[in-house]
Structure 1
Amino acid sequence: MSSSSTTSQASALDSGMEALAGLNLLSLQETQGATSLIDTTAAISSMVDQLSGLPTTPPSLFIDLEGVELSRHGTISIMQIHNHTNGQNYLVDVKTLGRGAFSTPGALTVNTLKAVLESSSIPKVFFDVRNDSDALYSHYGIELRGAQDLQLMELAARAGSRKFISGLKKCIENDMPMTSIEKDNRAKAKDEGLKLFAPEKGGSYEVFNQRPLPEKIRIYCVQDVHYLPRLWEVYNRKLSARWRAKVQDATEHRVMQSQAPDYNGKGRHMTLAPRGW
């Protein structure tokens, strides 16, 4: 990378940080719940204990990942985990901890985060599980089980055409009731977040690898995963037993596809509904 390019990206990053500083951090924290950065093995151990034995109906765990070109060809920087039972958010620093993020056992249990992710008896909700699963499997050998794909739940619950899937932004805006404060805070955090990491807006995904992780980036990371439980409730109410089964089969197929040698997580095919839907 040239020095001029580096200077330009740094300038964009600084300006994005300044804009994010104008957010009402207190109101964001109140609407999102408490957030813990998990960047030591001791913190991982404590988190694993807290995630053990949680209720499974409805699901307690809602998960998202951030990284640089998140896939087998890129890296995982942060794993966001939302515990719906108490509103706690965990930002697991995968960049810092590496395999230790997934292999460190709890202090009170023999569980690891890898074991939680691979357990078919612990439901874990993702929005479009494919590239998350690809990255987890390719870099850390994690064979995801027990996944529920919220993107497929929306498609199954939809009254109109099911030819194309919807993105999370559209689902939140169209299907989830939000307070005016939530709408305002989410819009600010998302827009300023894009300025930090979206290349087309002058940002760089490397912002997720900055350490210490800026507080404003923590807020951005929590934004999406925080809303997943409410979307799950909206779509779950609309699903018949038949469609629940179809969603589960399609989710498992997505995970299996993501682990295949020829999996390609980019392209128009990623916008299409499962065949036969």
Structure 2
Amino acid sequence: MASSPQTNIPLPPDPGGNSQGNEDILPPVPIHIVTQPNQLPVEFLEPTPLTKIIIGFDCEGVDLCRHGTLCIMQLAFPDAIYLVDAIEGGDSLVKACKPALESTYITKVIHDCKRDSEALYYQFGIKLHNVVDTQIAYSLIKEQEGQKRLPDDYISFVTLLADPQYCGVAYAEKEEVRFLLRKDPNFWTYRPLSEQMVRAAADDVRFLPSIYHKMVEKLNHRSLWHLAVRGALYCRCFCHSNNNYADWPPLPPVPENLISEKNMLEEEILSVLDVPNGKMGRIIGRKGATILAIKDSCDAEIIIGGSKGPPDKLFIIGPVKQVRKAEAMLRGRMMDIP
């Protein structure tokens, strides 16, 4: 097991100029490269209601989706960061993490869960569950502040880290890694892991638990419920099967403290729309103008599989009435005669 004393991102500047205070908030932690299950904490491998934990979570790989290669899973605990090496440890190592990744007792804080969830589902049979997606949380906070609902992918991870409300750090190395990935898509497959690979992987999760706590403090009970539901829907978004997600855990119920509002809380759903061959271009429109116009007309997210697929489906997430409205508009567009 290899370790490193700290990650690469500088700690946020302390308003009083006291750098020691920041070390107390986010002290340097060891980074462990994991190739065997017994190198992971027992409370992670064997989740129980007595040891509920919150971890930062992310995945790295080659063209990460149902067909790509999962190379690393990053787990950020308060006292350590674990890089689960799927290349060296193989399927057995990743599947040893299945109980934790599907557990209600372990909260996985992630920035954009869709493709990671898809890779875990199709490659390892893992149904990622109980996630807090910081993209969704950011959108909900802005809604609470009176803004129109933002797209749930509105903010990038680098921009979120730079926001002083949540972190206030620059992540310049992220762009360096993106450049290396464009130059060589197999970047994450090489072993042994270089210092840069270890730093970059760890930096992608290090601040997520801290950001989670700051975001949760801003969210009211209603928004927290929406956060849980949307996280569950986004996890299953690209994991489409013919059983209509019957093998997935149920969506989070309305909590007791919101029961009195139940009639006011509109259920949020995921709808999968099949697109006939040759019609996707009409739906998207020139430079995306058509689908953007439909999104602007509906309080719902419309997600396209794109180059990673699935290429013949649209995924719509939002309140029932808005999803049905989006479906009608999209079907109408499919039927339009050129």
TM (norm. structure 1) is 0.72
In the alignment, structure 1 residue 90 sits paired with structure 2 residue 82:
yes
Task: Provide Cα deviations, 1:108-161, integer angstroms capped at 9, x if missing partner.
Answer: xxxx31111111222211111111110000000001222222211111111333
Q: In structure 1, how many angstroms separate the alpha carbons of the residues matched to 2:217 and 2:224?
A: 11
SS of corresponding position for 1:145: coil
Larger Cα Rg: Structure 1 or Structure 2?
Answer: 2
Aligned to 2:158: 169
Choose the corresponding residue for 2:42, options 45, 49, 54: 49
218-227 or 159-168: bigger deviation:
159-168
Aligned to 2:91: 99
Note the C-alpha offset of 1:28: 3.1
Contact 1:163–1:273, Cα closer than 8 Å, also in 2: no
- Alignment-mate amino acid for residue 258 of structure 1: F
Choose the corresponding residue for 2:176, options 192, 195, 208: 192
Note the C-alpha offset of 1:50: 5.3
Choose the corresponding residue for 2:217, options 200, 214, 237: 237
Contact 2:60–2:70, Cα closer than 8 Å, also in 1: yes
Aligned to 1:79: 73
Percent identity, aligned pairs only, is 24
Match runs of 1:1-277 below 5 Å: 28=8, 32-39=28-35, 41=36, 44-49=37-42, 51=44, 52=46, 55-56=51-52, 59-84=53-78, 86=79, 88-103=80-95, 112-158=96-142, 159=145, 160-164=147-151, 165-174=154-163, 175-178=165-168, 183=170, 186-187=171-172, 189-197=173-181, 199=182, 203-261=183-241, 265-266=305-306, 274-276=317-319
- Alignment-mate amino acid for residue 100 of structure 2: V
Contact 2:130–2:231, Cα closer than 8 Å, also in 1: no
Point out which structure has higher relative CO (alpha carbons under 8 A, 6+ apart).
Answer: 1
TM (norm. structure 2) is 0.60
- Alignment-mate amino acid for residue 148 of structure 2: S
Q: Normalized per residue, which structure has more helix?
A: 1
Contact 1:63–1:125, Cα closer than 8 Å, also in 2: yes
- Alignment-mate amino acid for residue 90 of structure 2: G
Contact 2:56–2:75, Cα closer than 8 Å, also in 1: yes
SS of corresponding position for 1:64: strand
For structure 1, list consecutive stretches of 5 or more residues without a partner in the other structure. Answer: 1-24, 104-111
SS of corresponding position for 1:226: coil
- Alignment-mate amino acid for residue 251 of structure 1: G
Note the C-alpha offset of 1:48: 4.1
Q: In structure 2, how many angstroms separate the alpha carbons of the residues matched to 1:251 and 1:126?
A: 10
- Alignment-mate amino acid for residue 318 of structure 2: R
For structure 2, list consecutive stretches of 5 or more residues without a partner in the other structure. Answer: 12-27, 242-271, 273-302, 308-314, 323-338
